[in-house]
Each structure stands twice: as structure tokens, then as C-alpha cells.
Amino acid sequence: MALERTLCILKPDAVEKKKVGAILAKIEDAGFAILALRRVKLSMDVAEGFYAVHRERKFFGELVQFMIRSPVVVAVLEKESAVSAWRTLMGATDPAEADGGTIRKLFGANKGENATHGSDSVENAKTEIAYFFPASEVSPSA
């Protein structure tokens, strides 16, 4: 196992429902260190750029509109195998299919409004972290 970092986004639905504290508590209880944290209202350009890989998907427009609807909270998480550990804690993309106790099961509404984002590989995590945080804003855990 290796110490990894991953990008976490608490999406507009989670922030609107005032679940930021509850979700961050679950993250810390699961042993992640929060190395950086910021609340931000994404612009259309930033949201489109972040999800550029999905540009051809039919839900792209809906996804971008959702992500700019209200502020999000972006965070850098660190833990052994953080990329897969955070995706396990989030649960499946569709909250209806997510395991009990996962964040998307607890706080997600549907496949679009599913409370959280997590990087899907170590490689993508590096790109996604750099998209939101200059290295100087990511402080080591100790």
C-alpha cells in the first residue's frame, strides 16, 4: 500500500443540504487527513474544464449546470490507497445502487445529484488536485 492523495468535491446538493460537516466528519473518521480545503462557486469555464473528459456524454450539459448551481467544497485527502478508499466511502455513482452507509447512499439523491466527487486514479488525482490547488496550498499532514 502507498500513501496517496485524491481530490474530493462536496457537490452543490451536499452543500445546499448543509451536509458539509457530516461528510467531513465521515472522511476524518475513516482516517483521511484533509490537506487542503476550500469553498468555491465554480464558473462555467472551470466546471467544463474539470469535466472535459465527459464532454461527449449526453448528460454533460446537465452535469455542468448542476456543478455551477451553488458553491462546492473542494478538498485534498491523504491516506494509504486514498483513491480507492475515498471511492469506496463515497459509494456507487447512482445512490440507489450504493452500499449502505456510504456517503452517496446517505446524502445523494440520484445519479446526477450524488453529493460527492472522487478521482478515479492516482494519475487523474494529481491532475485534478493541481486544477484546484497550487502546491503551496496543500500542506503536509504532519
In contact, 53 and 117? CB cutoff 8 Å? no
Q: Of 42-50, 59-67, 95-103, 125-133, which part binds ligand GDP (CB under 6 A)? A: 59-67
Under the criterion CB under 6 A, does residue 84 sit at the interface with ligand GDP? no
In the set 12, 67, 117, 119, the catalytic residue is 117
The only residue of 7, 36, 114, 133 in contact with ligand GDP, by rule CB under 6 A: 114
d(CA 139, CA 142): 8
54 is catalytic: no
Closest CB to ligand GDP belongs to which residue?
112
- Asked if 62 touches ligand GDP (CB under 6 A), the answer is yes
Residue 93 interacts with ligand GDP (CB under 6 A): yes or no: yes
Q: Edge-to-edge, what's the strand order for the sheet holding 72-80?
A: 33-40, 72-80, 3-10, 116-118
3-state secondary structure 51-90: CHHHCCCCCHHHHHHHHCCCCEEEEEEEEECHHHHHHHHH
- Residue 120 interacts with ligand GDP (CB under 6 A)? yes
Write down the least CB distance from residue 11 to ligand GDP, Å: 7
Q: Does residue 131 belong to the site contacting ligand GDP (CB under 6 A)? A: no
Question: Binding of ligand GDP at residue 117 (CB under 6 A)?
Answer: yes
Mind telling me the catalytic residues?
117
